[in-house]
Amino acid sequence: EDQVTQSPEALRLQEGESSSLNCSYTVSGLRGLFWYRQDPGKGPEFLFTLYSAGEEKEKERLKATLTKKESFLHITAPKPEDSATYLCAVRPLSGGYQKVTFGIGTKLQVIP
Amino acid sequence: SQTIHQWPATLVQPVGSPLSLECTVEGTSNPNLYWYRQAAGRGLQLLFYSVGIGQISSEVPQNLSASRPQDRQFILSSKKLLLSDSGFYLCAWSVSPRGGVGNQPQHFGDGTRLSIL
């Protein structure tokens, strides 16, 4: 069974204090790994797709990286508007394209 | 650009009442469509997905059903709601995979918060 574990569950940072969120996954072959941002009471907003180990993607203060067992979302010099829950999801090679397993997320709070 | 609309944003229903949540997508054709439920402390749970008009696959046995009467319209229904149906319901779409090139992300609507009394 595919599994996604995100850590920490919650993270509180001072504005400008860089950190990383972790997504560990277990799949029988990875078709793709996705990062989303979810604001309270809203649907997840797509951020990145990573396909293979060693790949990196960047967007503003966020950088996502991928290894064979985990992915990191690095947040550089965060601002209060980066506060949100960040979700990780994996799509395995086996099964249809609808088979996406989501983690519970990391709730990030950035304090001014 | 593509957009997805879900309504209503919030809904309070008594136990045993019917349910109809609607989702529409604009700016794309023949999308894959999905219904998820998100419970506190749990990951998103896929309820239904559809690859075309009238084609519905159910992922978990439950009190709910889904229909796709038009290409870009997806409806979640129930004849009689249970207390356990409370939750945050999300509709999503993705580009339909063609020729093996289908590793596209899912894009979500803003959800419906459903409370059963």
Chain B residue with the nearest C-alpha to that of A105: B43
User: What confidence tens digit (pLDDT) does each residue in B66-104 have?
Assistant: 999 999 999 999 999 999 999 999 999 998 876 555 678
User: Closest approach of chain A CAs to the CA of B51, in angstroms?
Assistant: 9
Q: Does residue B4 have a pLDDT over 70?
A: yes
User: Closest approach of chain A CAs to the CA of B109, in angstroms?
Assistant: 5
- pLDDT value, residue B98: 64
Distance CA A101, CA B46 (A): 9
The pLDDT > 70 percentage for chain B reads 96
The two three-digit tokens of residue A40, written as one number: 């309270």
- pLDDT value, residue B102: 61
pLDDT-based confidence at residue B43 (cuts at 50, 70, 90): confident
Chain A residue with the nearest C-alpha to that of B109: A43
Mean pLDDT by 10 residues, chain A (112 residues): 94 98 94 96 96 95 96 98 97 83 97 97
Between chains, do A97 and B32 touch, taking CB under 8 Å as contact?
yes
Chain B residue with the nearest C-alpha to that of A87: B43
- 3-state secondary structure labels for all residues of B37-52: EECCCCCCEEEEEEEE
Identify the residue whose tokens are 């709070």.
A109
Distance CA B14, CA B82 (A): 9
